[in-house]
Amino acid sequence: MPSETATPAPHLHDLTRPALGALLADWGFGAYHRDLLWTGLYRQRAESLDTVEGLRPDLRTALTERTRLEPLVAPHHESFSSDGLTHKLLLRLRDGQTIETVLMRFKGRATVCISTQAGCAMGCVFCATGQMGLARHLTPGEIVGQVLHVTRILDASGESLRNIVLMGMGEPLHNYEHTLAAVDILVDALGLAIGPRFITLSTVGVVPGIRRLADEERPVQLAVSLHGATDAERAALVPAGRRWPLDELMDACRYYIARRGRRIFFEWTLIEGRNDTAEHAHTLGRLLGGMDAHVNVIPLNPTVGYDGGPSTAPAVRAFQDVLTTYGVPSTVRQRRGIDIDAGCGQLKAEVERRTRRSLPIAP
Ligand code: SAH
Ligand code: SF4
């Protein structure tokens, strides 16, 4: 009889290939069996051990008795943008928490935006997820499960997934171990084989996490959410800015660029009148000038809990023009699927509001 304190059976989608190999090696099965199981999990996208082809019966029995392989995410609510290109999913975890995953199809290339936490502890004032607070970290399997879920959707229409952005709910570097284990699973060449440079990890600026990432061999793309270029202005939007001030953050970013030899993307959500004037652009230009940096400006997607609005198109252009004078390149990123609440945390917030008021949920 297993005791109540016994470690629960591991979920197979929580394990990197080396970790799976170590588990199987303990039972006397070598790399051949590990890789057969791995390709079953990630190439065949098996949802049960019964459908993994070629497993030795004694291994199948051991796995059935000592591991788990149930789906970790299940559809709870979904909606499509009016152009049909953005498919927003609210997925339910096994404990009832819900998280957002957004599948975007653009010019034959699919991108998925995934969550790393249920909620977020960082409290950025304009962000629907920040307005909820943190419920819990996601496990590696729950992070990978979102990708498997959309991969099955794409499989059905013969499409494939190219980009993954860790820009859904949560702060990836606040859930460092699980997020990076998930990245290792996603890039594994025998499995989903997503190119590491097609994975973008976006952080609010968790300095110890950026430094740690700089020292590791995980060639993902790093994006840092800035939104303010002085400590006072940034902290008003991003409370985490008080914990990790800009001088520490920029030092960590320079360290990352030097160690990894990679540019960093800086995200700047443009909020009318708050951080979108020429003066703001000059301050940002001075902060980033001379660095290997690229700025993504994103007009605010308004949320119920915040009274700011998006910058106008001329203000966005003027902001970019100032950055250009400092030699800082920038791109405007529209938050796609605004008509279906496809901003971070917004679908969950809307579904919960409507459920509370027993209103129908918009398609
Ligand atoms: N926690 C990480 C990743 C998730 S948020 C981070 O903050 O970087 C991904 C991006 O969406 C961040 O740049 C965030 O500031 C931005 N964002 C959040 N809510 C938004 C909104 N309502 N409108 C525009 N951008 C938003
Ligand atoms: Fe968290 Fe990112 Fe939202 Fe800030 S913007 S609250 S860090 S998810």
pLDDT digits (tens, 9 = 90+) for 268-317: 999 999 999 999 999 999 999 999 999 999 999 999 999 999 999 999 99
Residue 291 backbone phi and psi in degrees, to 5: -90, 160
Dihedral over Cα of 138, 198, 334, 324: its sign: positive
Q: By the 8 A CB rule, do 33 and 205 touch?
A: no
How many angstroms separate the alpha carbon of residue 65 from the centre of ligand 2?
39
CATH class of 12-66: mainly alpha
Report the Cα 182 to chain-centroid distance in Å. Answer: 11
pLDDT at position 8:
84
> Position 243: which residue type?
R
Q: Residue 230 has what DSSP assignment?
A: S
Say whether 127 is catalytic: no
First to last CA, the chain: 49
Kindly report, residue by residue over 213-244, the tens digit of the pLDDT.
Answer: 999 988 899 999 999 999 999 999 999 999 99
Over 70: is that where the pLDDT of 337 sits? no
- Any atom of ligand 1 within 6 Å of the Cβ of 296: no
Residue-wise pLDDT tens digits, 40-68: 999 999 999 999 989 999 999 999 999 99
| CA gap 179, 252 in Å, rounded | 20
Domain boundaries, the chain: 12-66, 73-355
Q: Which CATH class is domain 73-355?
A: alpha beta
120 is a catalytic site residue: no
Residue 113: the pLDDT is 95
Residue with tokens 């409507």: 354
pLDDT on residue 217: 86
- Parallel, antiparallel, or unpaired: how do β-strands 134-137 and 161-166 relate? unpaired
Residues with beta carbon inside 6 Å of ligand 2?
120, 122-124, 127, 129-130, 170-171, 204, 225, 344
Cα separation, 137 vs 122, in Å, equals 13
Residues 120, 124, 127, 344: which is the catalytic one? 344
Alpha carbons 198 and 256: distance in angstroms, whole number: 18
- Please give the helix or strand (H or E) that residue 145 lies within, else none: helix 140-156
Does the beta carbon of 298 lie inside 6 Å of ligand 1? yes
Report helix, strand or coil for 92: strand
Check pLDDT > 90 for residue 354.
no
In this prediction, residue 360 has a pLDDT band, given cuts at 50, 70 and 90, of very low
